[in-house]
Amino acid sequence: MEKPTKQGRYISIKQKLLGSYFIMLIIPILLVGIYLTASIRTNLINNKMAEIENNNERIQMDYATLLSSVTNVSDWIYQDEDLADLVQTQYTNPYDVYEAYQGYQMFEDYLRYYDEIEHIRFYVDNDTLTSTTGIYNANETIRNTDWYQSSVSGNGGIEWLVLEDDITKDQHLNLIRSVYRNYELVGVLTIAVNENMVKSLLADSASTVFITLNNQTPLYSYPEYDNIQNSYNQYRPVLEAVEDTEGNYEALDSQRYDREFTLNIRDVHIPKTLDSQMQVVGVVPTDSILQDVNSDLRLAYMIILAVLSLSILMLAIFIRTFNKRILKLKDAMTMVAAGQFTIQPSIKGNDELSDVYKHLVMTTKSIEDLMELNAEHIVNEKDWELQVKDAQFKMLASQINPHFLYNTLEMIRMKALRNQDREVAEIVMILSKLMRKSLERKQKETKLSEELEFTELYLQIQKLRFGEHIDYEIENTTQHDYTIVPLIIQPLVENSFIHGIEPKIDNGNIKIKVVEVEGYLEITVKDNGIGMKLDQLEQIRALLASNGDSSHLGVYNVHQRIRFTYGPNSGLSIDSVVGEGTVAKIRLPIQEHLNRQEE
């Protein structure tokens, strides 16, 4: 008694339509959506970064302008001959000093017209002068300070230092330079920068900003911190990584520090400055940038979700209507197969399904006519004629359903060709060949070439279904056309598609290789699908090694049929790696095949 041929897992047309919809529509929409949202996200981040950069550039330019004004005042004082005459004159009495001060009002004018200046201090070595607004006698304590000595050795060059004022005891950023006339030291000038002016420049900043001196000391910040040095120190590791550079730095991939900060560093270029370096450092928490960007992306996601929801709703309506017609056709064919020929005369619609149903109705009428005619012959003809007619009827009855399907598929193929849909016509033609070979495979064994040809028909259908996303290769290097158990390769290929290729987003590839190895015929089915986790693989291997009943698993049935036919040294083995694919290998003894060929 022949064993029944194992059929593949039943998949309804409704499920196939849903699967095709997800593969051909939802997945592309999601991919396009992900690509577009990623592009939008990148553009939004770049715009945010440009905004931060423009903000720092504005602060840099305004701050440089402010310091340039202070520098210009220092140049005018440096070139002021009246000031040099005033402070180098030796006075005999306080009244002469008073009159000299009354005749020189330039310091008051600078303070009146330049809001950038907090105060001016000009230190001179002249004991006949008394200290007044802007002019002070440089006592020994002042002359011994580091900043005073550095300025004198600078020969008129400009330095910027933070000094505590001797009078107000407040700390300010000061321009310091020595003033010479005819190579003789006239005095040391300090001009304090108005802190309120700098704070007004930072007040409109859209992010946290520090102004630093010599890349170490923070001078000003927005917002203001109680301890500006401690607040600035948290950014020092990142700043050290990008020292002496200018531009945007996302905390550097190699030294990210958890990608916490996005920095923008700009040098403030001040002419005539010696060793002092000032920078504008903009700091923005990366999370705040992403928060603004994500709020804009939510709208894009909502639009994508709305489009998908609408398309799913329309598809559900279509599938529901289409599936009802399919089920009516299926029920009618079931009744006819069961011998009940009284079916509904037609179904709704005007397409291939309605044509198939019409042909089914015509077929049932033909069968009824044949049955009536056969009944008349049974009554009227002789016994030998009745036996002949009865044999013919049995043959016709056993072939009517397959021939009906072949004729119907051929009719669909011709209609597709008339409609110039060659792809559908090719699919129907391959399906017809596949069904014919499947129905003809009643023998217990088949040729290797026929088994590979049957499998290739299945692969051709999958190729037409998936297009360029699927490639396959069949390599047969054997010297003989061996006789093997039928239907042992196609279930493995189908398993590769269902569990490996279909869930995969990228292109899929299946390779079938048949070789002779040390007295055995090895048939390998390899795919580059999603693969299996180790626990899943171990579970399948344990199932293959058991003798239990697991008819629901195709690979188990293939393995059991091979071992039942060829013994315990044959069978199926499976290897798989997550993300790389799965390899199924069939091992059959060659001597067994050769013996069968000789018989």
* pLDDT value for 398: 40
Q: Is residue 532 part of a domain?
A: yes
More confident residue, 207 or 533: 533
- Over residues 11-65, the pLDDT tens digits come to 766 677 777 777 777 777 777 777 777 777 677 777 777 777 888 888 888 888 8
Structure tokens at 166: 């001797």
Last residue of a domain, one of 289, 310, 331: 289
pLDDT of 575 over the 90 cut = yes
Tell me the per-residue pLDDT of 316-353, one tens digit each, with 9 for 90 and over.
Answer: 787 777 777 777 777 878 887 777 777 777 777 777 77
Which pairs with CB-CB distance under 8 Å and at least 24 residues apart come from 436-441?
436/402, 436/406, 438/5, 439/402, 441/5, 441/486, 441/487
Q: Which of 236, 271, 289 is where one domain is finished?
A: 289
Instruction: Answer yes or no: is pLDDT of 563 > 90.
Output: no
How would residue 8 be classed by pLDDT, with cut points 50, 70 and 90? low
What mean pLDDT comes out for the span 374-385?
62
For the segment 109-133, the average pLDDT, to the nearest whole number, is 88
- Residue pair 514/448 in contact (Cβ under 8 Å)? The answer is yes
Q: Where is average pLDDT lowest: 182-186, 191-195, 256-260, 432-436?
A: 256-260
Task: Identify the pLDDT of residue 1.
Answer: 42
pLDDT at 583 over 90: yes
What confidence category does residue 597 fall into, taking pLDDT thresholds of 50, 70 and 90?
low
In a domain? residue 312: no
Confirm whether 265 is domain-assigned: yes
| Between residues 193 and 94, the one the model is more confident about | 193
| Average pLDDT score, the chain | 77
**What pLDDT, on the 0 to 100 scale, is given for residue 331?**
80
- Examine residue 61 and state whether it is found in any structural domain, yes or no: no
488 vs 440, more confident: 488
Alpha helices (H) in 346-445, listed in sequence order: 352-380, 383-418, 422-440
Q: Which pLDDT belongs to residue 156? A: 82
Distance CA 218, CA 512 (A): 70
Three-class secondary structure of residue 54 per DSSP:
helix
b/e per residue, 19-37, with b = 16+ CB within 10 A? eebeeeeeeeeeeebeeeb
Q: What is the pLDDT of residue 433?
A: 65
526 within some domain: yes
Residue 122: per-residue pLDDT: 92
Least-confidence region, from 61-75, 109-123, 437-451: 437-451
Window from 28-32, 218-222, 368-372, 530-534 with minimum mean pLDDT: 28-32
Q: Which of 159-173, 207-221, 427-441, 576-590 has the highest mean pLDDT?
A: 576-590
In this prediction, residues 151-169 reach a mean pLDDT of: 84
Three-state SS across 291-324? HHHHHHHHHHHHHHHHHHHHHHHHHHHHHHHHHH
Note whether residue 455 is domain-resident.
Answer: no
Q: Which two tokens stand for residue 87?
A: 């402070």
Q: Residue 358 above 70 pLDDT?
A: yes
Instruction: For residue 225, give the 3-state DSSP assignment.
Output: coil
What's the number of domains the chain is made of?
A: 2
Decide which of 50 and 585 is more confident. Answer: 585
Residue 433 located in a structural domain: no
Q: What is the mean pLDDT of residues 469-481?
A: 89
Q: Band of the pLDDT at 381, cuts 50, 70, 90?
A: low
Which among 60, 57, 185, 164 is positioned nearest to 118, based on CA atoms?
Answer: 164
For residue 276, tell me if it sits in a domain: yes
Residue 526 has pLDDT above 90, yes or no: yes
SS3 392: helix
Q: Is the pLDDT of residue 513 over 60?
A: yes
Side chain identity, residue 166: D
Q: What is the CATH number of the domain that holds 525?
A: 3.30.565.10
pLDDT higher than 50, residue 397:
no
Mean pLDDT of 561-568: 83
pLDDT digits (tens, 9 = 90+) for 83-109: 888 888 888 888 888 888 888 888 889
Which of 295-299, 382-386, 423-427 is modeled with the greatest confidence?
295-299
| Among 289, 312, 337, residue at a domain's last position | 289
- Across 251-268, average pLDDT: 54
The burial of 328, by beta-carbon neighbours within 10 Å (0-12 exposed, 13-18 middle, 19 or more buried), is given as: middle
Q: Give the CATH number of the domain where residue 268 resides.
A: 3.30.450
The helix (run of H) or strand (run of E) holding residue 192 is strand 184-193
pLDDT band at 248 (very low <50, low <70, confident <90, very high): very low
pLDDT at 567 over 80: yes
Average pLDDT (477-483) is 88
For residue 557, give its domain range: 470-599
Which has the higher per-residue pLDDT, 365 or 535?
535
Predicted confidence at residue 523, as pLDDT, reads 93
